[in-house]
Amino acid sequence: MGAHRDLPANYDRFFHALGDRIRSYRVENGMRQEDMIFYGFSVRHWQKIEGGQPMTVFTLLRVSETFQIPLDQMLAGLNHHLRKRK
In degrees, rounded to 5, the angle at the alpha carbon of residue 39 between the alpha carbons of residues 55 and 33 is 75
Q: What is the pLDDT of residues 21-80, one digit of tens each?
A: 999 999 999 999 999 999 999 999 999 999 999 999 999 999 999 999 999 999 999 988
What is the reported pTM? 0.88
Q: For residues 64 and 29, what is the distance between their CA atoms, to the nearest angstrom?
A: 13
Nearest residue to 55 via CA among 67, 68, 46: 46
Identity of the amino acid at 12? D
| Superfamily holding 6-82 | lambda repressor-like DNA-binding domains (1.10.260.40)
